[in-house]
Structure 1
Amino acid sequence: MDAKLIQTIKGTNDRLAEKGMLPFKEKGTKEGPALKITPGERYQTVMGFGGAFTEAAAYTLSQISKEKRMEIIESYFHPVHGLAYSLGRTHIHSCDFSLGNYTYVEDDEELRTFSIERDHQYVIPFIKDAVKTRKENLTILSSPWSPPAWMKTNNEMNNGGKLLPEYQSAWALYYSKYIKAMEEAGIPIWGVTVQNEPDATQIWDSCRYTAEEERDFVRDYLGPTLEKEGLDHKKIVIWDHNRDIAYERAKTVLSDPEAAKYIWGTGIHWYVSEEFENLTKIHNDFPDKHIMFTEGCIEGGVQLGAWHTGERYGRNIIGDLNNWLEGWIDWNLVLNEQGGPNHVGNYCDAPIIVDTKKEQVHYNSSYYYIGHFSKYIKPNAVRIKHEIEHPALQVVAFQNEDDSIVVVVMNEMDEAAQTNLVLEDQACHVDFPSHSISTVVI
């Protein structure tokens, strides 16, 4: 038995670098700290990894040559040469990473003017090229940031506000029309979230719901409307916000059986907190429901060459996966040199940054850190038990459908670490340099 070692190491040129094969030998008695893998103890099945097809990302790609654009798409979606992304996220009309506020209707309470024509300019071609590169459809989750201004208490898409009670039925129908319009355009939608970040008043597109309001909207409007429109097979994801109060929010909604029957699971963002244990609390109380990471990014603009950004990705992915997460979706797939475009100046970083003026493509550390998971942990892989004796190392382990075992190990420390990877009665020695991430494929 042999294992392939792949590493990304700070201060070197190693980026998803194949470091050769590691031989397994009969396990001795004095081998130092052990990392023991137990395939017989199994947990959740994963859907895969992916990122968001924002208008900002799609527009950025339109500003460079076709060759560079396709290079980036292949870097994410090619099943062998890229990160093998299988998931995606779209925004239902505008979000902050759009070129401006927009909706799919005019002031039309019956939604007769509904049209996704705007998305045909940048977003839909981006998704279609990703699918063509992957040679298989993506699992796409779609989220609204705000209802149209005239449906809201503050009469604007930005700065929070709430959905007016008299428009709950029309707003629920809006999701249905979006799903059908996208599918007519050749893009299947797997599911929707109820509201992006419902507990935040943002200066961009936003709308607030209490847990009780979200529960009631799903139970009385969104669930029944999707059912009536023949879309009851589409998934509904609640919360779509931070981990800190995810358990309390999920408990309020999922404890109502009439609401819960429509709900696939809970969506998580990483801002504010790394309380990964809150995911396990949700799983323990509602084991028939699912948990998905729906958004995370590095805030505050572009940080080219930073290493801590990749480590934040690695730490969060490992922490969530070890607490029953099933799917992981990054925020913007690509942004420009400013960390936009963003119509309110809420600039962020992305794993790939394009300098549209110089036509240069920059791959951040986060791109490679994500790849240590997404390239090797395939859709339908099952998390398996690991036990680690080394306090500095962060670990997660999976078994793919082809029975290959994937162990991802991150060392955030300034010192190198070593362990013996133990599987059944055999072991192999592995070195983990400081500030590195490693994938071992057995």
Structure 2
Amino acid sequence: MKSTMNSRDNTPRQVEVWLSSESMPGRNSWFQGPQELPHQLSQQAALNWSLPQVSELTTLHVTPEQTYQEILGIGSSLEETTVHNLSRMKASEQLDILKQLTNPQLGIGLNLFRITLGTSDFTAQPFYTYDDLEAGETDFQLKDFSIQKDIDLAIIATLRQLLDVAPNTIFFASPWSPPAWMKTGNSLKKGRLKEGQEYTAALAKYYRLAIQAYQEQGIPIHAMTLQNEPLLETDYPSCYMPPEVQQELAVALKKELIEHGLPTKIWMFDHNFSDVWSYITPILNAEDGYAVVDGIALHDYEGEPEVMSEIHAAYPDKPLYLTERSLWGTQGADRMARYFRNYASSYNAWVTMLDSNIGTHQWPGTPGPTMLIQDASQVDLYWKTPEFYLLGQYSRFVERGAVRIGSSYGSVDTVTNVAFRNPDGGLVMVVINQTEVEQSFRIICEGSQFTAALSAKTVGTYCWQGL
């Protein structure tokens, strides 16, 4: 069969192919040491296009002329647990890890990282914020505000080193709790922001000071969420923040940002699919709320990704960001495809590196394996889990500024997918085989087709230049 030609330069087009395999997804046996994998972002022989023909193969059709949301980035988090584990390693190993995380040639090209303002539950430290006081004290002028602990704990140094390695990196920030003196209960655990305009104004100023302090350290904050998981009160830093409070806070913070010339965007909510409708509608249906909110942040622990398409239809000018969820295996890769197919403009995994003792953190449960695991007894040693490579099937190839393009989803009984067009016109299709057997399929796009076979429990990324 004669191959199709690239109409722009009369040379045959080919399809580049990379594969990664799952292995024991989510199992804690990965904390015991590295294991062999069939495919680890392994490049395969290129595939050739042909003229369309009758076929009984599973068929996926790609329509590049149909374009959807723009992609901001794909990444993970640099919360204090990860930074703590990194800081115990010698400088050359730290640098190597940062390069493998961010460099698309040497590693997987992550370009969007979540950081925490103060500690989260994933920390090796006592919980802190940037204005901790003795019981009964207040500081409405924030005279005691300081990010010195972030400097002392090597958080600032790590983020600056990451920017040196990958200058196009974007950071967004999330707080787990306001300072205790601002809260009912006077604790970082549980509680709410105290009532009164003075507390709303103080918290808005606190956030603005944090953004400024990071900027002064050479670390711009692209966006921030106003409260991690605002519907959760629990025994680690947390704060219940109902929609009306978040709306008031967003208005106050936007005023602070504008007055001080800070371009940081405000992303609202930062919690589960299941509660997004009831939370965001009173904010976005209010004129002042709609005006100050720049995007909607979501977590995937309850509910289904398809709600994002509903939200997009209701508020098409407010981008959607998947800010927290760790995924494992080909089922996780398909879940990520569903995020993007339902208008997510980003994806961030939660926690980049635990050690082999599953540490060090203060979350009350037992975490699953992270994409990197440090040997707790030999801290300069680490290994990669399959999730490093499976995430790389997206992040290495889908560039910032890419747009999702049309493609038929397929079926979990055969293969599923999502497709993108990069800023240079290159097309990227991530295809997922969750089944126990090899799946053969064909792709039809712009008048041509290619056929491929994808091993059981494997993700394939297919890249070609569009016409």
Q: TM-score, normalised by structure 1?
A: 0.93
Give the alignment of 1:16-415 within 5 angstroms: 16-98=41-123, 99-107=125-133, 108-121=139-152, 122-134=154-166, 136-165=167-196, 166-219=198-251, 221-231=252-262, 233-273=263-303, 275-297=304-326, 309-343=328-362, 345-348=364-367, 349-359=369-379, 360-390=381-411, 391-415=413-437
Change (3 A) 1:64 1:389: closer
Residues 411 and 437, structure 1, Cα contact 8 Å, conserved in 2 = yes
| SS state at 1:272 partner | coil
Give the whole-Å Cα distance in 2 for the aligned partners of 1:337 and 1:208.
33
Change (3 A) 1:368 1:196: same
Residues 331 and 434, structure 2, Cα contact 8 Å, conserved in 1 = no
Residues 397 and 406, structure 1, Cα contact 8 Å, conserved in 2 = yes
Residue 159 of structure 1: CA displacement?
2.6
In the alignment, residue 399 of structure 2 is paired with which amino acid? K
Change (3 A) 1:129 1:104: same
* Deviation digits for residues 346-366 of structure 1 (CA, Å, limit 9, x no counterpart): 442321111131333121121
* Deviation digits for residues 288-327 of structure 1 (CA, Å, limit 9, x no counterpart): 11101111136xxxxxxxxxx2334312211110001111
Residues 147 and 163, structure 1, Cα contact 8 Å, conserved in 2 = no
Change (3 A) 1:270 1:376: same
Counterpart of 1:435?
457
Residue 124 of structure 1: CA displacement?
1.1
Give the whole-Å Cα distance in 1 for the aligned partners of 2:356 and 2:132.
34
Give the whole-Å Cα distance in 1 for the aligned partners of 2:73 and 2:370.
19
* Deviation digits for residues 132-157 of structure 1 (CA, Å, limit 9, x no counterpart): 221x1421111110011111011100
Give the whole-Å Cα distance in 2 for the aligned partners of 1:203 and 1:297.
21
Give the whole-Å Cα distance in 2 for the aligned partners of 1:215 and 1:334.
34
Give the whole-Å Cα distance in 1 for the aligned partners of 2:22 and 2:226.
40
**366-375 or 160-169, larger mean C-alpha shift:** 160-169
Residue 64 of structure 1: CA displacement?
2.1
Give the whole-Å Cα distance in 2 for the aligned partners of 1:15 and 1:247.
39
Residues 409 and 418, structure 2, Cα contact 8 Å, conserved in 1 = no
Give the whole-Å Cα distance in 2 for the aligned partners of 1:152 and 1:75.
41
Residue 31 of structure 1: CA displacement?
4.7
In the alignment, residue 259 of structure 2 is paired with which amino acid? K
In the alignment, residue 301 of structure 2 is paired with which amino acid? Y
In the alignment, residue 326 of structure 2 is paired with which amino acid? C
* Deviation digits for residues 202-242 of structure 1 (CA, Å, limit 9, x no counterpart): 211000011222223223x22222223332x3200011011
Give the whole-Å Cα distance in 2 for the aligned partners of 1:124 and 1:287.
35
In the alignment, residue 6 of structure 1 is paired with which amino acid? W
Residue 389 of structure 1: CA displacement?
4.9
Q: TM-score, normalised by structure 2?
A: 0.88
**338-347 or 351-360, larger mean C-alpha shift:** 338-347
Counterpart of 1:304?
none
| SS state at 1:125 partner | helix
In the alignment, residue 154 of structure 1 is paired with which amino acid? G
* Deviation digits for residues 160-209 of structure 1 (CA, Å, limit 9, x no counterpart): 43444341111110010001000000001111101000011121100001
Change (3 A) 1:410 1:163: farther
| SS state at 1:414 partner | coil
Give the whole-Å Cα distance in 2 for the aligned partners of 1:35 and 1:435.
19
Runs of 4+ in 1 over 6 A off after TM superposition: none
Residue 424 of structure 1: CA displacement?
1.7
